A = this chain, B = another copy of it.
Amino acid sequence: IRSNSMKKNSTSLRVRLPVLVFALEVLVVVLYSVFVTYDDQTNALLQNNKTQPLENTVYQDYPFFADIQVMIFIGFGCLLAFFRRYGFGGMVFNFLTATFAIQWAILVQGFFHFYYDGQIHLGVINLINAEFACAVVLISFGAVLGKTSPVQLLVMALLEVPVFGVTEWIVVEHLKINDAGGSILIHLFACYFGLGVTFILYRPSLNEGHSKEGTTYQSDLLSVLGTLFLWVFWPSFNCALTLRGDDQHRAILHTFIGLSASTLTAFALSALLSKNGKLSMADVQNVTLAGGVTVGASVDMMISPAVAYVLGMLGCTACMLGYKYLSPFLARRLRLQDQCGIHNLHGLTGLISTIAGICAILLASEETYGPSLYQTFSYRLEAGLGRTAKEQALYQVVALGSTISISAVGGVLTGLVLKLPYLASPTDEFCFDDELFFNVPLDEDQASESQEPRCSETQITNHQYILQSNFCLSTVY
């Protein structure tokens, strides 16, 4: 009992979470009030007689913003709710972490990309950028799902977003790479940052398996629903920040084709590699999405539909083999307990995508692109950077190297911070268990045992509405 109460105390959110959240909110609100103002599309003062309201960029940006919101809050939320008793944690900590990550990224990216006249200028375009930073945090979250408290997750977001901001600044503003779908900047960064964190948060006892790690029929269905939302809106993710017009059109096409190819392949490999010739829901939930990442780095280029298809197949195959053979090896030998297998879905596929992107850059010519060549590959303009394709290939490699190094080091350092005391880290026993951080409702069977109204302490905490629980209190008092 003593050890039980100690555990309870060390993971109670009662003081820890509010203190951290209010501190972060004060920080955000002070910085917003000092530094954040409207951009020229949201500032009433900058509109005049000649402004055409319908030409406001919000009409170009908002549809993509909304689609990506669905991916982040609903797609990721459902996908991460696959554990038997960690559905609340998966869906709700995703909600909390994503919300803070976006707020914070607005500031961090603001300083790097939208800062002039002493102010960060804000419009929906900033929100789209912040959503990408948020996606990075959520992918990394996948590596430590079920093993971290909401306090730790907020600290992780607090640290990961600035490291990402710096990397983005280097890669986008200085190296000026082609990476429309974010295969390098988003997926590889998120993957190696997450691996860095989980390397430090290694829990040897989990290598023996954990009684709560399984899924249920319902949780598997919910998780597939999340996959489907990610699948359906992924074209918006990959095209949101590409050039308008045919570039964006191609990005949509290629993403759709890549995802299609990886989905078919995933079903085939799932049956082929299973002992009993049955499909595994984990494969359906994860491996089907590999194509979305694999087409990323070249998604806006003239790679041809057939090549997008092949990329989807390749990415899916690498991802599946990764789940089957590489992840166990990483966990046993390298202390990399990658809970959702992000190294397979975002790492291996990201590497393939990077290589494909380099090939597409090397093959790009005026014959294929016409004058558009100097838009999609603007660094080739002689009046500008005047890089050759080969030089650019080198920049892509440099970007790859720096992204992986910075993210891995950042992840390791963040992991060390997350090991500090007072962050409510769950004990091994309570990993993957909503009981630790949530008032979980009683099971139907337990609940229906007693037919009369119950007003016990447990009951009260489970009531949907504080309203009712207080009715109970009133009858107790």
Interface residues of A in 369-425 (CB under 8 A from B): 369-373, 376
Is A188 among interface residues, defined by CB-CB distance under 8 A? Answer: no
- Nearest Cβ on chain B to A265's Cβ, whole angstroms: 7
Is A84 among interface residues, defined by CB-CB distance under 8 A? Answer: yes
Q: In the complex the two chains form, what is the Cα distance from A49 to B372 in whole Å? A: 9
Q: Are A58 and B278 in contact (CB under 8 A)?
A: no
- A47-B99 CB under 8 A given contacts A70-B232, A278-B439, A282-B465: no
Residue among A65, A372, A436 facing the most chain B CB atoms (10 A cut-off): A372
User: Which residue of B has the minimal Cβ distance to A280?
Assistant: B439
Is A437 among interface residues, defined by CB-CB distance under 8 A? Answer: yes
Q: In the complex the two chains form, what is the Cα distance from A95 to B250 in whole Å? A: 23
- A59-83 contact mask (Cβ, 8 Å, vs B): 1 or 0: 0101101110110011001100111
Interface residues of A in 337-354 (CB under 8 A from B): 337-341
Q: Are B305 and A36 in contact (CB under 8 A)?
A: yes
Name the one of B51, B95, B150, B243 contacting A263, with C-beta atoms under 8 angstroms.
B95
Bin the interface of chain A by size.
Answer: 35 or more
**Which secondary structure dominates where chain A touches chain B?**
helix
Is A229 among interface residues, defined by CB-CB distance under 8 A? Answer: yes
Q: In the complex the two chains form, what is the Cα distance from A370 to B52 in whole Å? A: 16
Q: How many copies does the complex hold?
A: 3
Across-interface contacts of A243 in B (CB, < 8 A): 53
Across-interface contacts of A261 in B (CB, < 8 A): 25, 29, 103
- A232-B66 CB under 8 A given contacts A328-B470, A474-B332: yes
Name the one of B42, B232, B276 contacting A250, with C-beta atoms under 8 angstroms.
B42
Is A463 among interface residues, defined by CB-CB distance under 8 A? Answer: yes
Across-interface contacts of A302 in B (CB, < 8 A): 38, 43-45
A-B contact pairs, 11 of them (CB 8 A): A12-B276, A38-B304, A42-B246, A45-B369, A56-B246, A84-B447, A87-B221, A88-B217, A99-B264, A100-B264, A127-B253
The 8 closest A-B pairs by CB, nearest first: A53-B245, A14-B277, A12-B277, A328-B470, A33-B306, A21-B268, A209-B453, A13-B271
